[in-house]
Structure 1
């Protein structure tokens, strides 16, 4: 009889970003493990299937609740904990896996995924009430977990040192890349990109929530340092949710938008995002800190060379295929971008290296490592 695994999927109520993509892809890959049966908690109820889309109006509703309801985070958690426990009384599970920093209380073995320590190193990049909630739960959760899944060797070593546990408590399961991220012919991209006024191969791309940790300011500064002809030929396109502090980029973005040097596309559905990524000439990813850096892998899988910072886990993902920059050197970043735009042979070499590098990562591999951890934990 398959072993029943309880998986917290409540994050999928929101539009999918990094952790949501991780959960959805991992769950789909785990479904192929015949000896495991997954049941998903959506914040209110338990289901056998993942939701296909986010809850309509979730982002707006969540913002209103946080604004008008005192102690919104603890109150929501208390309500969800009650529903979580009630459901498991009816259908007990042999193991609970939570992809977040704040797992629910569970009377049994628990596995959690610790994607990064951004809440430790860059608390200023998240709202204070969210950091307070993480501080209340994260350290206790790591202590309580039988195993902690992490996305990279960098985070495994960092977490072991910070929390004071042996490194074997932390299991590295590198992320994979959805099949929709693949090289595409320009003629297949012209129609979907036309709605944004974009031409395949004629724009630079940044992907990520507009928050300080993503360091999009460097990308804007570097783009401004390009020659005017390059800036006009290759506008800077930013895709991602507005985040909680978009005003820090507004003035410079408005100037670039008015001059036609930048486009802000906001959050885009999965299929369209894959087309936008595939149509880019380069991905610019100057993040200050990442637990993995999924957009880097997605760009390489799409045949798009990546200009990225040599920070945290990012070199583990890009390896020798990446073109590395310093996070505070906009002039150096501009020089790297210019070289890749003007040297077709170098661009082709980086493209080929990225495609080869991307083949080392898969959701099947991530799921296999995770499933092995489940089995080990349930028999220990």
Structure 2
């Protein structure tokens, strides 16, 4: 099968969907009946780009500020896509919300319905393009992959799709996420002023949907001595409307017990997840919640919200609270500090749960979808 995968999201820093594309492409390349071509927006390649490609840093701000910039970029990308597609592709896989025009069969991945559930968390220009394009794209795709059953059910209800047009392909966990000894993680932790097992960590883009203020309020509610002994370390790039957090973040950081590290290299994040007391993942809405899986695979307990897809990923291994309940999150943090047996039970349950997920499994479900669409 000659498969075209739209990999242009890899032009920018890799967050959730970027990691999905990179890991899926790597796993698909190992499938014997898949001949994979990656479209990166500027051309075609059989290899994943290793760094941000030219143009990303210039185009990203324009998409937020210049009227019509999304459509202009789309026109250019379509022209570049068309140079290769004729007669050389059996199936086109669009891994996000922006399928390019293709006369052959299309499979698309629908990661979430954030634009419907939380439209105020999307840049207006992006929201307009999603509203303009997504319904048609969903109706035209021969088959739609989702990361979780939660999103499959949402998509079926909202778009009125028959169940046979949806397939759940749960995400996997990269090999870099695994338990590490304190001695192994110590060099990375020391560079950030941290000690193994003596900090909480948040991982995710700084934007309203990630609900970081819940973690900040929960941590602020801890006794002073505990906040000093267990600081909160935040990893993530700035996203849409991140300035809404500025005052709350500045106040938390002024206390000396909260550190905002920004975007960090993947390997550093893996060490930091493994060394943490627990991951705080307070998101309002996720189609999967990849950091939850990555923390569990690292042997780190998870405190997350009981909403959207998080319970499907963490299952009984998770510690849960409501998305507007800082006291519930604070109590879960205290228990993971004070109750060693509970911490160990969460660690072991998380490792068992994470073992159920793999990128190889995700790729095989995806390949089966390709075969189904192509009549194999």
TM-score normalised by length of structure 2: 0.98
2:242 is the counterpart of 1:246 = yes
The corresponding residue for 1:71 is 68
The farther-off stretch of 105-114 and 256-265 is: 256-265
2:226 is the counterpart of 1:230 = yes
> For residues 67 and 119 of structure 2, what CA distance do their matches in structure 1 show?
21
Displacement of 1:56 in angstroms is: 6.1
Q: Deviations over 1:280-299 (max 9, x none)?
A: 11100111111000000000
The corresponding residue for 1:40 is 38
C-alpha spacing 1:56/1:347, structure 2 compared with 1 (3 Å):
farther
Counting matched residue pairs gives: 376
C-alpha spacing 1:365/1:83, structure 2 compared with 1 (3 Å):
same
The corresponding residue for 2:79 is 82
**What SS does the aligned partner of 1:260 have?**
coil
The corresponding residue for 1:25 is 23
The corresponding residue for 1:49 is 47
The corresponding residue for 2:267 is 271
Contact conserved, 1:16 with 1:54, CA < 8 A, in 2? no
The corresponding residue for 2:126 is 130
Contact conserved, 1:152 with 1:316, CA < 8 A, in 2? yes
**What SS does the aligned partner of 2:324 have?**
coil
Displacement of 1:190 in angstroms is: 1.2
| Counterpart selection for 2:289 from 283, 290, 293 | 293
Q: Deviations over 1:25-62 (max 9, x none)?
A: 0111111111110001010101111112222673x423
Extract unaligned runs of 5+ from structure 1: none
Contact conserved, 2:322 with 2:328, CA < 8 A, in 1? yes
The corresponding residue for 1:114 is 110
Q: Deviations over 1:59-90 (max 9, x none)?
A: x423432356431101000110111112213x
**What SS does the aligned partner of 1:112 have?**
strand
> For residues 361 and 140 of structure 2, what CA distance do their matches in structure 1 show?
26
C-alpha spacing 1:68/1:152, structure 2 compared with 1 (3 Å):
closer
| Counterpart selection for 2:157 from 137, 155, 161 | 161
> For residues 23 and 315 of structure 2, what CA distance do their matches in structure 1 show?
23
> For residues 259 and 100 of structure 1, what CA distance do their matches in structure 2 show?
40
Displacement of 1:20 in angstroms is: 0.5
Q: Deviations over 1:333-374 (max 9, x none)?
A: 111111111111110110110001100000010000000111
Contact conserved, 1:189 with 1:275, CA < 8 A, in 2? yes
Extract unaligned runs of 5+ from structure 2: none
Contact conserved, 1:206 with 1:237, CA < 8 A, in 2? yes
**What SS does the aligned partner of 2:316 have?**
helix
